A = this chain, B = another copy of it.
Amino acid sequence: MKPFFQVQTIEEVWRRMSEVACLPSETVPLDDAAGRTLAEDFTAPCDLPGFSRSTVDGYAVRARDTFGASEPQPAYLTLHGEVVMGRAPDFVLGAGQCARVGTGGMLPEGADAVVMVEHTSEAGQQIVEIGRSAAPGANVIGPTDDAAAGQVLLPARRELRPQDVGLLAAMGVRQPRVARRPRAGILSTGDEVVPVDEAPGPGQVRDVNAHVLASQVRAAGGDVIPLGLCPDDAVRLRAAVDRSLAQADLTLLSGGSSVGSRDLTAEIFQGVPGAELLVHGVSVAPGKPFIWVRAGDHHLLGLPGQVTSCVVAFHLFVEPLMERLVGRPAAAFTRFGRQGATLTRNVAAQSGRELYQRVRIHETESGWLAEPVPGRSGLLRSLVQGQGLVRVPLGAEGLEEGSRVEVLLFPGAAR
């Protein structure tokens, strides 16, 4: 009945994810746009700033009138007027003339440079001493220096940073079009699991994964639909999955770490109309029992029940799929910092699995050290005390003490 399903490599899973279509777009208010993903190329609707602006307080001049000027041998120019901020000057600068201008002020016609006020002095009777020669364009931003109309300023699929939001503001964009945030239904199973607000009895534990996953989804730019806790029961699990199908783009089902529960998860997912089993097991530790079933545009993801495995599986599989859903490559660890370090102890890896070892890092006089965090895979402590992960590639038998490694730093510094 159950088809034999080959364990896949991480790269095979990511390749599959790169074929997923991305979510539709929506518009958002400008001040909510940072961190969102631009849905289409942004092309400059006009020149920016659109006029010649001074970058300093000083005097607008015709550059050639200042050539050869120096402190001992200044040029003398006639003060023609003053530029009022926010208005086009109502005069034209002629030969031998200058005009007061503040930072950000518009250059009058005829002027092509600004001399900083520090290099000038007003000599009285409308005469200004210019103590320095100015090249054409000196201290001036030209009309198209920030952008020329028609230029692509921001490429589609860019995650907007505050300065990118600034560029949109400068161009008058109040409602940029961005990819919709992926919505993740979060569901926990396990007969031994109780909600956070209940006191666990003997043999019971609280539902940790739902809250870790909710925090991870939000940090990765998604919205959370909490679906609660469900016992390992086919009918109730299927009902919870149906609630997720109706509201979310992704279902994250964690728990069912025992063999029987894992089979139940796969069975429930495959019972959804249109279900297509894409991944059932990956050659990685932790994260091996990952399940991915697609049903139309919805993605059903089965994650390990042990919290350490669940956290790593999120970064390895859920985050890349979320990246892809907003239109970017299905890559992992894009939100992780990196730190080169020296390993303080051997790390043994099981052959046939890529390993992600939790490590603590600290800086010493001889550089950064990465210390493997002891503790079995079920221990939350190893994640709380750890600052990151070290990858031991598939095929390697492990890493030796003293090896140079790149530590992938968990998002949000543990300071």
Cross-chain contact B306 with A162 (CB below 8 angstroms):
no
- Report the bound CA distance from A35 to B34 in whole Å: 16
- Report the bound CA distance from A207 to B35 in whole Å: 20
Contact for A162 among B85, B191, B212, CB less than 8 A:
B212
CB of A286 to closest CB in B, whole Å: 11
> What are the interface flags for A132-154 relative to B under an 8 Å C-beta threshold, 1 for contact and 0 otherwise?
00000001010001110000011
Cross-chain contact B211 with A30 (CB below 8 angstroms):
yes
> What are the interface flags for A70-107 relative to B under an 8 Å C-beta threshold, 1 for contact and 0 otherwise?
00000000000001111111000000000000111110
Residues in B with CB closer than 8 Å to A213 are 162
Residues in B with CB closer than 8 Å to A86 are 190-194, 201, 203-204
Residues in B with CB closer than 8 Å to A191 are 84-86
- Report the bound CA distance from A206 to B49 in whole Å: 9
CB of A236 to closest CB in B, whole Å: 15
Cross-chain contact B377 with A215 (CB below 8 angstroms):
no
Q: Is the interface of A mostly helix, strand, loop or mixed?
A: loop
Taking the complex as formed, is A259 at the interface, i.e. its CB lies under 8 A from any CB of chain B? yes
Residues in B with CB closer than 8 Å to A197 are 172, 174
- Report the bound CA distance from A200 to B172 in whole Å: 9
CB interface residues, A 1-47, toward B, < 8 Å = 30-31, 33-35
CB of A221 to closest CB in B, whole Å: 11
Cross-chain contact B166 with A202 (CB below 8 angstroms):
no
Residues in B with CB closer than 8 Å to A337 are 337-338
Cross-chain contact B145 with A224 (CB below 8 angstroms):
no
Residues in B with CB closer than 8 Å to A163 are 212, 307, 311, 380, 383-384, 410
Cross-chain contact B415 with A212 (CB below 8 angstroms):
no
Contact for A166 among B147, B158, B212, B218, CB less than 8 A:
B212
Residues in B with CB closer than 8 Å to A165 are 211-212, 215
Residues in B with CB closer than 8 Å to A207 are 169
Contact-size category for A: 35 or more
Copies in the complex: 2
Contact for A412 among B34, B57, B174, CB less than 8 A:
B34
- Report the bound CA distance from A49 to B206 in whole Å: 9
Contact for A203 among B105, B147, B166, B173, CB less than 8 A:
B105
- Report the bound CA distance from A179 to B78 in whole Å: 60
CB interface residues, A 104-134, toward B, < 8 Å = 104-106, 117
- Report the bound CA distance from A197 to B157 in whole Å: 25
Cross-chain contact A104 with B146 (CB below 8 angstroms):
no
Taking the complex as formed, is A243 at the interface, i.e. its CB lies under 8 A from any CB of chain B? no
Known: A166-B208, A192-B105. A226 touches B31 (CB 8 A): yes
Cross-chain contact A172 with B145 (CB below 8 angstroms):
no
Residues in B with CB closer than 8 Å to A211 are 30-31, 165-166, 168-169
Contact for A206 among B89, B172, B380, B411, CB less than 8 A:
B172
Residues in B with CB closer than 8 Å to A214 are 31
Cross-chain contact B51 with A328 (CB below 8 angstroms):
no
Taking the complex as formed, is A50 at the interface, i.e. its CB lies under 8 A from any CB of chain B? yes
- CB nearest neighbor in B for A141: B378
CB interface residues, A 180-202, toward B, < 8 Å = 190-194, 196-197, 199-202
Known: A105-B192, A167-B384. 18 other contacts (CB 8 A): A30-B211, A34-B215, A53-B378, A85-B258, A88-B203, A117-B259, A159-B413, A159-B414, A161-B410, A161-B414, A162-B215, A163-B307, A163-B383, A164-B384, A165-B211, A165-B215, A169-B207, A170-B205
Q: A residues near B, CB below 8 A?
A: 30-31, 33-35, 48-51, 53, 55, 57, 83-89, 102-106, 117, 139, 141, 145-147, 153-154, 157-174, 190-194, 196-197, 199-216, 218-219, 224, 226, 232, 257-260, 305-307, 311, 328, 334, 337-338, 375-381, 383-384, 410-415
5 A–B contacts from the bound complex (CB under 8 Å): A55-B377, A106-B202, A145-B376, A161-B411, A166-B380
Closest 3 A/B residue pairs (Cβ): A88-B202, A86-B192, A106-B203
